């Protein structure tokens, strides 16, 4: 394959296509932006941001989670997690609980309000995904998640 052939591909309709169009990274970014902006419009201005929602999910579903654990699972630095935990605590969705065995640690314990907020938010997120992904059927969505997960697992 020559350089020019690689650069200018041809679509089924016979139109020339930019090299960008066939790159995974470019399409991944653009699709990510589409989902992100629809997410914001569904969750609203005082709703949980994607990262705070993810954090709440881990807190609700993982007993005795520490902040370092959570940061590792979210793939961010411990320092960046502080603001996220502050927000969830400020909303009354979790408590920082002292651990007698190791006084450096503060376990993250969801409150009843936190569990309920999680349930409600999950419904909203499902609504959002159903709306923004209406052009993909169930099989295509599962295929997409499967492919994305493969990328994620090797990259960790």
Span 53-82, contacts to DNA by CB under 7 A: 66-69, 75-82
Q: Is 57 in the site for a copy of itself (CB under 8 A)?
A: yes
- In 3D, which of 111, 119, 3, 11 has the Cα closest to residue 57? 119
- Helix axes 112-132 and 24-43, enclosed angle (nearest 10): 120
Least distance CB 18 / DNA (angstroms)? 18
Binding-site string for DNA from residue 106 to residue 135, where x marks contact by CB under 7 A and - marks none:
xx----------------------------
Q: How far apart are CA 136 and CA 147, in angstroms?
A: 15
- In 3D, which of 88, 29, 31 has the Cα closest to residue 54? 88
Q: How far apart are CA 98 and CA 86, in angstroms?
A: 16
Residue 31 partner contact from a copy of itself, DNA, none using kind-dependent CB cut-offs of 5 to 8 Å: a copy of itself
Span 96-115, contacts to a copy of itself by CB under 8 A: none
Tell me which stretch binds a copy of itself (CB under 8 A): 19-27, 77-85, 88-96, 103-111. Answer: 19-27
Q: Is 26 in the site for DNA (CB under 7 A)?
A: no
CB 107 within 8 A of CB 97: yes
List residues binding DNA (CB under 7 A): 49-51, 66-69, 75-83, 85, 96, 101-107
């Amino acid at each position: 394959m020559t350089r020019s052939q690689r650069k200018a591909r041809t679509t089924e309709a016979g139109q020339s296509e930019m090299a960008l169009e066939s790159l995974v990274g470019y399409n991944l970014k653009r699709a990510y932006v589409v989902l992100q902006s629809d997410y914001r419009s569904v969750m609203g201005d005082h709703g949980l941001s994607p990262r705070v929602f993810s954090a709440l999910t881990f807190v609700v579903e993982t007993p005795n989670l520490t902040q370092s654990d959570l940061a590792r699972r979210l793939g961010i630095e411990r320092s960046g997690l502080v603001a996220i935990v502050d927000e969830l605590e400020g909303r009354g969705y979790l408590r920082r609980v002292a651990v007698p065995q190791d006084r450096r640690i503060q376990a993250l314990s969801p409150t009843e309000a936190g569990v309920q907020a999680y349930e409600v938010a999950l419904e909203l997120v499902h609504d959002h995904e159903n709306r923004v992904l209406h052009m993909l059927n169930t099989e295509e969505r599962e295929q997409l998640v499967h492919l994305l997960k493969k990328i994620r697992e090797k990259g960790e």
